[in-house]
Amino acid sequence: MPQGSLEASRAAEDAARRSYGKLVAFLAARTRDVAGAEDALSEAFAAALADWPARGVPGNPEAWLLTVARRRMVDAARLRRHDEAAAGYFGWLAELAEPETANVAEGSLPDRRLELLFACAHPGIEPAARAPLMLQTVLGFDAATMASAFLVAPATMGQRLVRAKAKIRQAGIGFQVPERAHLPERLDAVLEAIYAAYAEGWSDAEGADPRRRNLAGEAIWLGRLVAALLPEQPEALGLLALMLHAHARRAARRDAQGEYVPLALQDSARWDGAMIDEAEELLRRASRLEAPGRYQLEAAVQSAYCARRRTGAAHWAAIVQLYEALHALTGSPVAALNRAVALAETQGADAGLRALDALAGDARLADYQPYWAARAELLARSGAPAPALAAYQRAIGLERDPAVRRFLQRRAAALGVGSVSP
């Protein structure tokens, strides 16, 4: 690829990762046409890949993309002039030329993503489409990725997204943070989408996947924005605390050779102390509001793990109790699994195995790698190497991260029985 084309491609990719959601939100905020904004932006990126290699990458790629996308939206509106709604559509487009747009040329793109998140969480949109719609429009997830994450067929996910975008436009759903009385019906979906984005970014431990590289940071930024705008919402504070606690340990998840390091073996000196302190303060603020919820409980679990930074040991008894409360609240089999692992730390491997046995019939865990890895570890600790090897082989087969797979292979090989899956 010629150097000019390579530089243009990299600049377009960087702009997409950095500002895709901002641009879609800005373009759709007034027209309420999310699909139209996405189409126009897609055409703008295609134009950039054709124009920038010859003319050079502009000083402000986002401003260039926004200008081209706006022109594409105007052109699309002209093709619909016979529609009685066209007059209103032109009115919305005219607003895009107001002074706020001038800021973009100066390098400051107003961030309308939070407003778009709440628009996508409108109760008029089917619940199953809300979080996927947010992830696609605000953070650029593709439909196929979300279909896999939400355990539906790609065609089904695509249909949901099309219907949801049409609903926003046809119903004239406004782009704004709703009044406090309407927050409960939207906030949960917004927080769910932000956490899903963080989890997707967290799974790319080395930052090697360009599609995921900035997701964790973007999710934390959005979490900060929600918490700042809604400081009396304890779950908003709890989610931010949870993400910060997890992110504080990011550097310790790999050793100098890039090998996976499980939480129990991580060097707590490599954890980000300032980030942990901020998370602790957020959790204290949330607890004073006396409305416990899922994210606060999960953040409290992370806080109990981080006790090792101060005392040298995680607070396992508290972790058991917190996972019990989380399971009672959500019914999540993952919470029950984590309780079993914590129980093994307080009452021994056999107690943990009994708790895992109680989950053996749950189909949701049948192909869940952490279940088999935990089972293998506890079987090994209880003196059952052959069943432990079988469980390790199942976990290895389910694991996608090469570093984690190598870690599991080493644990299996240390059993000294049979062969280990490649």
pLDDT score for 81? 55
pLDDT score for 159? 84
- Domain range for 16: 1-110
Q: What is the band of 207 on the pLDDT scale with cuts at 50, 70, 90?
A: very low
pLDDT score for 163? 87
pLDDT score for 289? 93
pLDDT score for 358? 94
pLDDT score for 172? 77
Does residue 196 fall inside a structural domain? no
Does residue 12 fall inside a structural domain? yes
Exposure string over 339-348, b if 16+ CB within 10 A, otherwise e: bbbbbbbeee
- pLDDT tens, 324-333? 999 999 999 9
Q: How far apart are CA 111 and CA 218, in angstroms?
A: 12
User: What 3-state DSSP class applies to 260?
Assistant: strand
pLDDT score for 6? 85
CA distance to 62, 72, 106, 108, 419, per residue, from 103 (Å): 11, 20, 5, 5, 63
Q: What is the mean pLDDT of residues 293-303?
A: 96
CA distance to 97, 121, 157, 174, 295, per residue, from 128 (Å): 35, 10, 9, 20, 20
Does residue 305 fall inside a structural domain? no
Does residue 388 fall inside a structural domain? no
Q: How far apart are CA 103 and CA 302, in angstroms?
A: 40
Which token pair is 88? 């209103």
pLDDT score for 102? 47
Q: What is the mean pLDDT of residues 97-117?
A: 58
pLDDT score for 282? 97
Domain count, the chain: 1
Does residue 201 fall inside a structural domain? no
- pLDDT tens, 9-37? 888 888 887 778 788 878 877 777 888 88
Return the minimum-mean-pLDDT range out of 79-83, 305-309, 367-371, 409-413: 79-83
298 pLDDT higher than 90: yes
Does residue 157 fall inside a structural domain? no
pLDDT score for 212? 54
Does residue 92 fall inside a structural domain? yes
Mean pLDDT of the chain: 83
Does residue 221 fall inside a structural domain? no
